[in-house]
A and B are shown apart, each in its own frame.
Chain A
Amino acid sequence: MKKPTPLQILVHLAGWLPLALLVYNFLTDNLTANPVQAIEQRTGLLALNFLLLSLACTPLATLTGWKELPLRRKALGNYGFLYASLHVLTFLWLDYNLNLLSIWRDVGTKSYTLLGAAAFLLLTPLAITSFPHWMKRLGKNWKRLHRLVYLISPLVAVHFFLSQKGDFFNLQGNILQPLIYAALIALLLTLRLPAVKRSIATLRSRAQ
């Protein structure tokens, strides 16, 4: 086995520590008076953060030339899926006690949960196909499939927006945090546009 790089160690620590902290907080009853909601919100936010970090790898590598970054993209994405799964599990099981009628009343009829569900369903095949043999098997299609994340991340951003009490259209309420996430996702997607990528590459080669 190859010796892990510092970045690799950092990524895996960052991946598991929040879960350890969550379990610790649960066991010591430090998850507010409403622990189910606290778990739901924390795992959701963690999933969003890891999704964002995995999206940031490629543009950051383009900007900085740090070639190791894209290699960590997949692990970060998988941690995103881990927390998304815990988030969904918490919703279905802890929150709704697998009560299908209640779940349907929310998921089936409300765009807020519907968007979250769609994002999770789209994310699932990406996590499944993250194993090396799937990469080989899918060849070029692997990359195509994983471009789904460009659709998933805006879905998650809107889902997060809808979880907060506020109104996007008249910019009132609890909207600062969702706005920051939406802006970051928009930025990370924009940096992937071929024209933008080309001009960054030109700038970098001039700078060197």
Chain B
Amino acid sequence: MSAKIPSSEITPKHAYLTRRDFMKAAGLAAGGAILAACATPPAPTPAPSNPQSGKTDERGDPANTYEDITNYNNYYEFTTDKEGVARLSQNFPTDPWQVEVTGMVRNPGTFGLEDLIKAHPPQERIYRLRCVEAWSMVIPWQGFPLASLLRAVEPTSAAKYVRFQSIYQPQNMPGQKEPWYPWPYQEGLRLDEAMHDLTLLATGLYGGELPAQSGGGIRLVVPWKYGFKSIKAIVKIELTDQQPQTLWNEIAPHEYGFYANVNPAVDHPRWSQATERRIGEFSRRDTLLFNGYAEEVSHLYADMDLTQNY
């Protein structure tokens, strides 16, 4: 499935950057009344300063604003403070960017981001992102299917998994100086998951470049898995026959599994995964199996016990 949105529907940036200003004015004017206002779902198109871009996911839910997407980031390489990532990543160099593709492939190589974009023209994909912390967003990415790159490098028949590695650059990523994490970030997918059409290498956001805080130069987006699987700032992709070690699995193996499929019936050991808060909404909503992509991906896990392979 690929959500096709004509470019005429893309909202100019100034239109969606105004939400905070609008809220500030409303907050100061309305005072305590804002509490009551928050309890009702946002109206579809109330004001000229309406931050909604008109973009929706295939279920009809509106995309989150550019401001929310780029100012609420789980990116421990910079800081564990979600609001602090945007500031700390301001000067992070994402251009030029190179990705090495290596391992069990016939055509290994190191590719510049621009060459990748030329070879695999990005398309818009509006995906839900469900964080393991039980919040979620709807995000309009630009990117190309990972499968398209993999087909070009031709995995050998021995390749069973894809391993991804983020950039390690402690001089530009203060969080990487912390000794509590086994940097660099690494993630992995089974080859069939990696080849699935939903699995995206994202190079842009809201029609623009992919900002550093959202994972630029280039990042993975696997919409049916918890957000931590969607590794950011990728510099290395390696085809292998071994299940790759992943960062969060190394930190807490009983809490963060290799598969990490969104599943309301399989709790995190410390909290329930049955519900989530969509950023911008007040009440919780039910979490969907495979984050709402069950029809597309459940066949990948047909014979698996999802409580064991969490």
A contacts, CB < 8 Å to B: 26-29, 32-34, 36-37, 94-97, 99, 102, 105-106, 109-113, 162, 165-167, 170-176
Bound CA–CA A105/B271 (angstroms): 8
Q: Which residue of chain A has the shortest Cβ distance to B254 in the bound complex?
A: A167
B286 to chain A, nearest CB (A): 10
Q: List, in ascending order, chain A residues with CB within 8 A of B275's CB.
A: 102
Let me know if A29 and B135 touch, CB within 8 A: no
* Most chain B CB within a 10 A radius of its CB, from A94, A96, A167, A171: A167
Contact with A along B1-40 (1 / 0, CB 8 A): 0000000000000000000100110011001101000000
The stretch among B88-96, B104-112, B199-207, B277-285 that forms the contact with chain A is B277-285
Let me know if B271 and A172 touch, CB within 8 A: no
Let me know if B83 and A110 touch, CB within 8 A: no
Chain B: residues with Cβ within 8 Å of the partner, total of: 41
A176 to chain B, nearest CB (A): 7
Bound CA–CA A109/B250 (angstroms): 25
Let me know if B284 and A113 touch, CB within 8 A: no
Q: Which residue of chain B has the shortest Cβ distance to A168 in the bound complex?
A: B252
Let me know if A174 and B280 touch, CB within 8 A: no
With A27-B27, A96-B284: A173-B180 Cβ-Cβ less than 8 Å: yes
Bound CA–CA A82/B182 (angstroms): 39
Count of A-B residue pairs with CB < 8 Å: 91
With A27-B34, A172-B252: A105-B270 Cβ-Cβ less than 8 Å: no
B contacts with A: majority SS: loop
B contacts, CB < 8 Å to A: 20, 23-24, 27-28, 31-32, 34, 64, 67-68, 71-72, 76, 80, 82-83, 133, 135, 178, 180-182, 248, 250-252, 255, 267, 269-272, 274-275, 277, 279-280, 282-284
Known: A113-B271, A172-B181. 20 other contacts (CB 8 A): A27-B27, A28-B28, A29-B20, A29-B24, A32-B71, A32-B72, A33-B68, A33-B71, A33-B72, A95-B284, A106-B271, A106-B272, A109-B267, A110-B270, A162-B270, A167-B252, A172-B180, A173-B251, A173-B252, A175-B180
Let me know if A112 and B251 touch, CB within 8 A: no
Bound CA–CA A32/B211 (angstroms): 18
Let me know if A34 and B23 touch, CB within 8 A: no
Bound CA–CA A37/B136 (angstroms): 13
* Most chain A CB within a 10 A radius of its CB, from B24, B180, B250: B180
A208 to chain B, nearest CB (A): 43
Contact of B270 among A36, A97, A99, A112 (CB under 8 A): A112
B41 to chain A, nearest CB (A): 13
Bound CA–CA A89/B20 (angstroms): 26
B276 to chain A, nearest CB (A): 11
Q: List, in ascending order, chain B residues with CB within 8 A of A33's CB.
A: 64, 67-68, 71-72, 279-280
Q: List, in ascending order, chain B residues with CB within 8 A of A113's CB.
A: 271
Q: List, in ascending order, chain A residues with CB within 8 A of B67's CB.
A: 33
* Most chain B CB within a 10 A radius of its CB, from A29, A33, A96, A162: A33
